[in-house]
């Protein structure tokens, strides 16, 4: 009997600085209801799904910055989403800015959580690959200050048994790094959920805009195929206060094929009834890690951070 999971990716259109969390949660609830109406019992929402992509703004006042962060989850604004999910028995992935107080320290993380169909938070991931810069770039059309506003995730790339599958998480820029998928692939991941906010314009180098979508999909498809896992990627996209971000939310099969893709840059639900066993044949053959990997030759991957040419 093939294990199946009817899953959805819920893409969000723009969230503007002036949009309240309550207004955003109403949109998330509408998307959850639509996904449930199509039979989905798991929904992936985007990265930083409760606010605008605030790392585009230069801020120095910590109180102003902290206004974009959640101190607890669920909280008053998000509780309606959790309650509806529990009522409809739909699990979800949600990205948000987490202000954590742990062992007397304050941590600021770009976080995602996994919520089971009974409403319990069963997993948390804190973004490890933080792109962009920490100092103000006065000549740039906008900033990308994730290295300023977030701490590097401190909980690694883990997997959880959820929705009758082995599920992992990552966030946005993580999807560009093969290590992200492989660390979860080595734990037997069958479904990786991720959200992203990807600006159309590259502020560091003039680059044809079509490459944004190409590199986005290339990263998802390669990661899925090379680790025999489903990859479900949810965009927050469109022009937030005039700053465009790419759409391209997608559900990618373990074969690397795109099984569903969003067509708009607005709130949109895509769904696929996943065959959770589809990756098995790849794990038994071409990507039988135990049989084919030669870790004695991979040392540099964990011992060397940057490029060092010795010839
Ligand atoms: N956004 C972008 C992303 O990785 C980026 C940043 C875009 C980095 C393109 C490099 C190239 O999709 C986030 N939030 O990571």
Q: Is residue 39 part of a domain?
A: yes
Which string of b and e fits 140-154 if b means at least 16 CB within 10 Å? eebbbbbebbbbebe
Shortest-distance atom of ligand 1 to CA 129: 15
Q: Is residue 304 part of a domain?
A: no
Give the chain's domain count: 1
Q: Is residue 298 part of a domain?
A: no
Token representation of residue 295: 């870790």
The tens digit of pLDDT for each residue in 147-188 reads: 999 999 999 999 999 999 999 999 999 999 999 999 999 999
How close is the Cα of 117 to the center of ligand 1, in Å? 30
Pairing mode, strands 4-11 and 238-240: unpaired
172 pocket-lining for ligand 1 (C-beta < 6 Å): yes
173 pocket-lining for ligand 1 (C-beta < 6 Å): yes
Where is average pLDDT lowest: 123-127, 201-205, 284-288, 301-305?
Answer: 201-205
Sorting pLDDT into bands at 50, 70 and 90, what band is 1?
Answer: confident
Shortest-distance atom of ligand 1 to CA 202: 9
The per-residue pLDDT of the chain, averaged, comes to 98
**CATH code: domain of residue 179:** 3.60.110.10
Q: Is residue 28 part of a domain?
A: yes
Q: Is residue 257 part of a domain?
A: yes
Half-sphere exposure of 14 (CA within 13 A, CB side): 13
Domain range for 83 is 4-281
Average pLDDT over residues 6-10: 99
27, 126, 152, 282 from 129: Cα distances, Å: 28, 10, 7, 28
Q: Is residue 58 part of a domain?
A: yes
236 pocket-lining for ligand 1 (C-beta < 6 Å): no
Q: Is residue 299 part of a domain?
A: no
Predicted structure pTM score: 0.98
Token representation of residue 47: 């990265």
Residue 244 β-bridge partners: 239
How close is the Cα of 3 to the center of ligand 1, in Å? 34
């Amino acid at each position: 009997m093939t294990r199946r999971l009817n899953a959805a990716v819920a893409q969000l259109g723009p969230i503007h600085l002036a949009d309240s969390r309550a207004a955003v949660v109403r949109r998330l609830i509408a998307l959850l209801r639509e996904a449930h109406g199509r039979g989905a019992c798991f929904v992936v929402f985007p990265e930083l799904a409760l606010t605008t992509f605030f790392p585009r703004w230069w801020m120095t006042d910590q109180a102003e910055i902290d206004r974009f962060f959640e101190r607890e989850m669920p909280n008053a604004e998000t509780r309606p989403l959790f309650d509806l999910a529990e009522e409809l028995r739909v699990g979800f992935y949600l990205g948000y800015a987490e202000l954590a107080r742990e062992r007397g320290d304050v941590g600021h993380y770009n976080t995602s959580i996994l919520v089971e169909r009974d409403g319990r938070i069963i997993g948390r991931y804190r973004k490890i690959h933080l792109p962009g810069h920490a100092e103000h770039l006065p000549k740039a059309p906008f900033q990308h200050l994730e290295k300023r506003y977030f701490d590097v995730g401190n909980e690694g790339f883990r997997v959880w048994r959820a929705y009758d599958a082995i599920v992992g998480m990552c966030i946005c820029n993580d999807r560009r790094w093969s290590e992200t998928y492989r660390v979860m692939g080595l734990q037997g991941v069958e479904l990786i959920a991720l959200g992203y906010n990807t600006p159309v314009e590259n502020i560091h180098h003039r680059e044809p805009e079509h490459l944004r979508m190409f590199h986005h999909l290339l990263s998802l498809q390669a990661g899925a195929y090379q680790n025999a896992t489903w990859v479900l990627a949810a965009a927050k996209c469109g022009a937030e206060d005039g700053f465009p971000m790419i759409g391209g939310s997608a559900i990618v099969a373990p074969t690397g094929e795109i099984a569903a893709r969003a067509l708009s840059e607005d709130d949109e639900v895509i769904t696929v009834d996943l065959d959770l066993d589809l990756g098995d044949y790849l794990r038994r053959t071409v990507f039988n890690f135990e049989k084919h990997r030669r870790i004695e030759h991979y040392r540099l991957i964990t011992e060397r951070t940057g490029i060092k040419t010795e010839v």
